[in-house]
Every structure is written in C-alpha cells, then in structure tokens.
C-alpha cells in the first residue's frame, strides 16, 4: 500500500467549539471513523516495542500528565499507542523524533502515551482503570490515535491514523493557538498560508 495522505483519510477532531477538522464535525459520543480508514499495522514492518522510547519525547503516564497539565495550564497531547502497530512506530521515527516537533510538544503541551495492551492502572474520572480499559473508554478504534485535552482534562478532539510531520506541526499550532474554538482547521490553515 502506498503512503496514506492524512488529508484524504477520514480524520476528525472533536472540538468544544464545534469546529470541523478536515471536513468532519463529530460529537464526542460519536465513534471515530471505521478501522478501514485507519493505518493498518501490517503495512509497516514490525519493530521491537523498545524502539518507541528512542524519540527523545518525554512521555508522561496518564495520571502524571493530567496532574502536570493542571499545574502548568498546558493542554494535553495524548497518543494512544499499540506495541504491535507499525504506523505508531512510523510516527515515532518520522514525527516524534523530529527536533522541531519534539520541542513544540514539550513547550506547548503535556505529552501522554497510553498503551492499549497495558495493565498499568490510571485514575480516569475518579475510577481506577487499566490503560487498556482507558483506550476502550476513550473510543479508540485504531492506532495510532492522537487526542487533545484542555489543561482541565476536557476533550478537545481526537484524530485516528498516521499523520505526517507537516500536518502534526500545523495541528499542534492550531490547538495551541485556541483557534479550534472558533474556526475549522482548513480555514485556519488557509489563513496561515495567506
């Protein structure tokens, strides 16, 4: 399969302001696009799960990250990750290892990684659940999935599938600027280019 262009994927961001991302406007209770719209794991060669830690990105545990976001006022960037997912590893290599993106995430967000097969306990809305249960409760249907939360832990939006470096850079700037509250991503991006 050829490299998937994220702009053609059925990708959505759920926003508190109701702004659409890439032409989709979904409510938080509506499931993300079906798995066929997401990057299949078998298209990228398998690598050891140990490779994910080589990005230089300081991933926090869920509890640690939520507490840090509340303390700093920074929004949260969550990546739902699977150890068997080829596109998760591709994002590690091509996106999260990128110095510019890594610096942008560290400066503007609190990065959290949730592993879908993990039995690690986290506190989610006053309940102790595993990362695996949290993944299901968040409605994640494919990997990788990125989710943005406010500093208070409120959902801003979620995007399934592989997203390349240029799109991630723009998306981070869009969320950090707060523009998602008043306009859709395509309108915002057009203004940035003009």
pLDDT tens digit sequence for 91-126: 999 999 999 999 999 999 999 999 999 999 999 888
CATH number assigned to the domain covering 44-179: 3.40.30.10
Reported as a pLDDT band with limits 50, 70 and 90, residue 194 is low
Stretch 137-165: mean pLDDT = 94
Tell me: the pLDDT tens digits for 5-57?
333 333 333 333 333 344 333 333 333 333 333 443 333 333 333 334 567 89
Stretch 85-96: mean pLDDT = 95
What predicted TM-score, i.e. pTM, was given to this entire model?
A: 0.73
Q: Is the pLDDT higher at 188 or at 51?
A: 188
Stretch 48-77: mean pLDDT = 81
- Looking at the chain, the whole-number percentage of residues with pLDDT higher than 70 is 72
- Looking at the chain, the whole-number percentage of residues with pLDDT higher than 90 is 62
Q: What is the mean pLDDT of the chain?
A: 77
SS3 sequence, the chain?
Answer: CCCCCHHHCCCCCCCCCCCCECCECCCCCCCCCCHHHCCCHHHCCCCCHHHHHHHCCCCECHHHHHHHHHHHCCCEEEEEECCCCHHHHHHHHHHHCCHHHHHHHHHHCEEEEEECCCCCEEEECCEEEEHHHHHHHCCCCCCCEEEEECCCCCEEEEEECCCCHHHHHHHHHHHHHCHHHCCCHHHHHHHHHC
Which residues does 51 contact at the CB level (< 8 Å), separation at least 6?
89, 92, 93
Which residues does 171 contact at the CB level (< 8 Å), separation at least 6?
13, 146, 159, 163, 185
Q: Please name every residue paired with 146 in a beta bridge, in sequence order, or none if there are none.
A: 79, 159
Q: Is the pLDDT of residue 85 over 80?
A: yes
How do 76-81 and 110-115 pair as beta strands? parallel
């Amino acid at each position: 399969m050829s490299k998937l262009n994220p702009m053609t994927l059925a990708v959505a961001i759920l926003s508190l302001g109701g702004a659409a991302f890439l032409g989709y406007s979904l409510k938080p209770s509506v499931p993300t696009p079906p798995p066929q719209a997401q990057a299949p794991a078998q298209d990228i060669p398998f690598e050891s799960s140990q490779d994910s830690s080589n990005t230089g990105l300081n991933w926090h545990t869920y509890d640690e990250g939520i507490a840090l976001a509340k303390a700093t006022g920074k929004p949260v960037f969550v990546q739902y990750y699977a150890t068997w997912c080829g596109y998760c590893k591709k994002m590690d290599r091509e996106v999260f290892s990128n110095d510019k993106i890594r610096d942008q995430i560290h400066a503007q967000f609190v990065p959290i990684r949730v592993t879908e097969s993990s039995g690690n306990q986290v506190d989610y809305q006053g309940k102790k659940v595993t990362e695996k249960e949290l993944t299901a409760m968040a409605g994640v249907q494919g990997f990788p999935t990125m989710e943005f939360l406010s500093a208070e832990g409120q959902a801003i939006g979620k995007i399934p599938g592989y997203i390349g470096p240029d799109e991630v850079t723009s998306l981070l700037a869009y969320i950090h600027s707060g523009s998602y509250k008043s306009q859709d991503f395509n309108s915002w991006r057009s203004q940035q280019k003009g």
